[in-house]
Amino acid sequence: GQNIDQPTEMTATEGAIVQINCTYQTSGFNGLFWYQQHAGEAPTFLSYNVLDGLEEKGRFSSFLSRSKGYSYLLLKELQMKDSASYLCAVLDSNYQLIWGAGTKLIIKP
């Protein structure tokens, strides 16, 4: 079966750095996405990785290792507005998105 694993909840302090991990087992791989979702809102796109390595975009970076079936989202200089759920999703061989359950990130002052 297809499976995406990420922690259910994480807590971090304002101004700090947090890394949210995602491991996946899917039938084929055509890229991995990270989305941010605030409560009551639709997801918004953060990053897309299809090749191994680190993609940096401002305070957010995303890393992918296809051989390990592993990705992480790194958030730096955390702000209170970063409190949200972060969803990892993999595009499988049929170009269907397989979703993780999401990681709820709580930022404390």
Partner 1 sequence: GAVVSQHPSRVICKSGTSVKIECRSLDFQATTMFWYRQFPKQSLMLMATSNEGSKATYEQGVEKDKFLINHASLTLSTLTVTSAHPEDSSFYICSARDLRGSEQYFGPGTRLTVT
Query: Interface residues with partner 1 (CB under 8 A)?
Result: 30-31, 33, 35, 40-45, 48, 87, 91, 95-97, 99-102
Considering beta carbons, is residue 76 or 96 the nearer one to partner 1? 96
Residue 28, SS3 per DSSP: coil
Q: Closest approach of Cβ 46 to partner 1, in Å?
A: 11
Token pair for residue 8?
């259910």
Considering beta carbons, is residue 42 or 80 the nearer one to partner 1? 42
Q: Closest approach of Cβ 71 to partner 1, in Å?
A: 16
Measured distance CA(18)–CA(61) in Å, rounded: 11
Q: Closest approach of Cβ 42 to partner 1, in Å?
A: 4
Considering beta carbons, is residue 33 or 63 the nearer one to partner 1? 33
Considering beta carbons, is residue 57 or 109 the nearer one to partner 1? 57
Token pair for residue 89?
């999703």
Token pair for residue 102?
């999401």
Buried b (16+ CB within 10 A) or exposed e, 52-69: eeeeeeeebbbbbeeeeb
